[in-house]
Amino acid sequence: MGSFRLFKEQNSNFWRYFWKYSQVIILVELLINFILVPTLNILTNWILMLGGIKYVSYTNLLSIITKRPLVFIGLIMVLLLILLLVFSQFALVLISFQAIKSKANMKWWDYLKTIFREIVSLPFRAFGFFLIYFLLITPFVGMGFSSNLLSKVKVPQFIMDWLFTEHLPWGITLVLVYIIIFYIGMRWLFVLPLMIFDNRTIKNALHHSWRMTKGKTLYYLGAFVISFIVMSVISFAMFGIILAGQLGFDHVSVIQFPTAIINLTLVQLINILSSLYATSISTLIVLSQTKTQYIQTAHKNRSHKWFWILLAAATIFSFVTYDTIYFKGWLMEPPVTISHRGVDDGNGVQNSIPALEATSKEKPTYIEMDVQETKDHQYVVYHDNTLKGLAGINKRPSQMTLDELTQTQIHENDKTAYIASFDDYLNTATKLHQKLLVEFKSVKGNSNGFVTNFAKKYGAQLQKNGDMVHSLKYSYIEQSKKAMPKVAANYILSFNLTGVPISDADGFTMEYSTLNSSFIDGSHALNKKVYAWTVNDSTDMSHMMFIDVDGIITDNLSDLKAEIKSNFSQSGYAKRIYNYILQMQSPF
């Protein structure tokens, strides 16, 4: 009951000053999304350009540190600036909310002066603390306590899949670590308010927050959970009413389109209100133990009503325009379908010819597969660094000849097959009229001529078939473009760190966890395509379509085809509104 009482108090507080709290959040988000994030991207790309660095990835990070130390220092400075801005964002929201609670009539300049004083007083070691602290509060992102400046701080899905499918003990360890992080995040819940309002040192604020939450972890966690449940239940109840209404309107041809526009706009406005509510309630819970009161000033602030009227009008106009384009089918193009490692929902052994034959019957646009070099400098279709996982042999493919490898059985999904040579795999694909997406694996044992020799031997056939190649190693892409200029070559990126790389690649294969519309729009502006990997969840597939990826790589090809049919079939407007809701992201 205690948690519900805390929630009830903060809920009442929110509705009492709903518009004032909302103004703060909206202005902060506008500042971040339209000024700070673009500025940081420009600054980062400028640093990379000065250093002659085309991209940042784990594959070249060591090289940047050792060969371009000034670039590395510049990137560290950008990281410190981001931490400072995140602190400023949270401080601005906390100070503004506390002033509103105090019924103080403060100007924005007063808020900024307070934040500036806080920043100036910060010791340099505070940056290390903030890095840890902001990582600790990431569990509360889903409950509204978040920052778009930290949107890329996440564990990519392919790492999670790798941990839980191939290294379960490490996956369990990660879960335990996450539980510990969640617990510490709850115990440090009041650190920022204590630093800002009580002028405590970091060490003192940590100790005091720990004492304040002793025996009350579930109390505060319960308040967060209740607010999340209440917001979700009310939002989805309203969505249900809208969908039910649209189902009826879909049977009246004269009004079905305009009502669909109105209803989808309502869905988008509800999404904004839900985000405002979640952020406000989370902030008010964090401020629930803050006693600081700001003095009410005599001056009267300007309401800036015309600014808010114009902003509301622009928002609704943008929604109506987007919704019209969406319903007319002008927004998205069906993505090309790509089977990851040539399988669909475990219908065979990855990268094997039987799996290729089975999956090609479902007619994917491409089948993605992996190529490595053998001991005798031939080419074999295999993904892992060693044969241990699929064949039980603790050797790399580069330590065995092609004949030895093609006589080796591999086992997966209760099926058995032989390792395929690339010659056999390519010949089979050609007979099946199945296009391939060939990944050049960057593994120990590949010779210096790995790509160029491959191009000499297979380039003409790949070009004739309309195949593509991609790789995590950028030098392989450069070599491929030089040796096979008419075969599309895409650079694989595990993270969206610095935006669109300066690259000679024809496109990018991006891990979908950090892929966003800004990266896709930037790539398309440069006439480069973007393929998302490895997208196995139907909701994530729909989201990738809504942000306009050119292709989707998946282990579940049949699910992808069903999701494409659902999103692009001429179904009723209610169904399309439902599809939009399923992939909808928080605006803040």
Per residue in 389-425, pLDDT tens?
999 999 999 999 999 999 999 999 999 999 999 999 9
Q: What pTM was estimated for this model as a whole?
A: 0.86
C-alpha span between 279 and 145 (Å, rounded): 6
Burial (Cβ within 10 Å: 0-12, 13-18, ≥19) of residue 41:
middle
What does the block give as tokens for 561? 């085809």
Amino acid at 253: S
In this predicted model, what pLDDT tens digit does every residue of 118-154 receive, in sequence order?
Answer: 666 766 666 666 667 666 655 444 445 556 666 655 6
- What per-residue confidence (pLDDT) applies to 170? 83
φ/ψ of 119, rounded to 5, equals -65, -45
AA identity, residue 16: R
pLDDT range class, residue 297, cuts 50, 70, 90: low
Residue 71 in this model has a pLDDT that exceeds 90: yes
Helix then strand count (H, E) for the chain reads: 24, 12
Can you tell me the distance from the alpha carbon of 577 to that of 135, in angstroms, rounded to the nearest whole number? Answer: 35
**Burial category of 236 from C-beta neighbours within 10 Å (exposed 0-12, middle 13-18, buried 19 and up):** middle
Task: Say if residue 317's pLDDT is above 90.
Answer: yes
What digits encode the pLDDT tens for the residues 523-572? 999 999 999 999 999 999 999 999 999 999 999 999 999 999 988 877 78
pLDDT at res. 181: 80
**477/506 Cα distance (integer angstroms):** 9
**What is the percent of the chain where pLDDT is above 70?**
88
- Cα–Cα distance, 369 to 356 (Å, whole number): 9
Q: Name the residue among 286, 281, 465 with its Cα closest to residue 367.
A: 465
Chain mean pLDDT for the chain: 89
Q: Where are the alpha helices (DSSP H) in 338-449?
A: 353-360, 388-391, 402-406, 422-431
**Cα 168–chain centre separation:** 24
| Angle, alpha carbons 498-554-471 (nearest 5°) | 50
The predicted structure's pLDDT at residue 147: 62
The H-or-E segment that residue 421 falls in is strand 420-421
Residue 156 CA, chain-centre distance (Å), reads 8
Query: What pLDDT does residue 142 have?
Result: 47
What is the tens place of the pLDDT at every residue in 163-207?
677 677 887 887 888 888 888 888 988 988 898 888 888 889 999
- Name the CATH superfamily, with its identifier, for domain 336-583: Phosphatidylinositol (PI) phosphodiesterase (3.20.20.190)
Instruction: Give the per-residue pLDDT at 494.
Output: 87
497 secondary structure, DSSP code: -
Check pLDDT > 60 for residue 290. yes
Domain span(s) for CATH 3.20.20.190 in the chain: 336-583
User: Two tokens at 260?
Assistant: 């669909």
C-alpha dihedral (229, 231, 235, 236), degrees to nearest 10: 0
DSSP structure class, residue 419: P
Task: Write the DSSP symbol of residue 191.
Answer: H
| C-alpha distances in Å from residue 283, one per residue of 11, 214, 494 | 11, 20, 33
Average pLDDT over residues 443-449: 93
Neighbours of 399 (CB within 10 A): 16
User: For the chain, what percentages of helix, strand and coil (3-state, to nearest 5) are there?
Assistant: 60, 10, 30
Q: Which two tokens stand for residue 444?
A: 């120990």
| 338-391 pLDDT tens trace | 999 999 999 999 999 999 999 999 999 999 999 999 999 999 999 999 999 999
Collapse the DSSP code of 308 into the 3-class scheme (helix H, G, I; strand E, B; otherwise coil) and give the result.
Answer: helix
Q: So what's the pLDDT on residue 88?
A: 83
Residue 517's nearest CA partner among 382, 339, 322, 347 is: 322
How far is 315 from 312, CA to CA, in rounded Å?
Answer: 5
Q: Are strands 468-471 and 336-339 parallel, antiparallel or unpaired?
A: unpaired
- Regarding beta strands 409-412 and 415-418, do their DSSP bridges make them parallel or antiparallel, or are they unpaired? antiparallel
What is d(CA 388, CA 66) in angstroms, rounded to the nearest whole number?
Answer: 34
* pLDDT, tens digit (0-9, with 9 covering 90-100), for 495-535: 887 788 888 999 999 999 889 998 999 999 999 999 999 99
At residue 462, the pLDDT reads: 98
Residues making up the chain, counted from first to last: 588
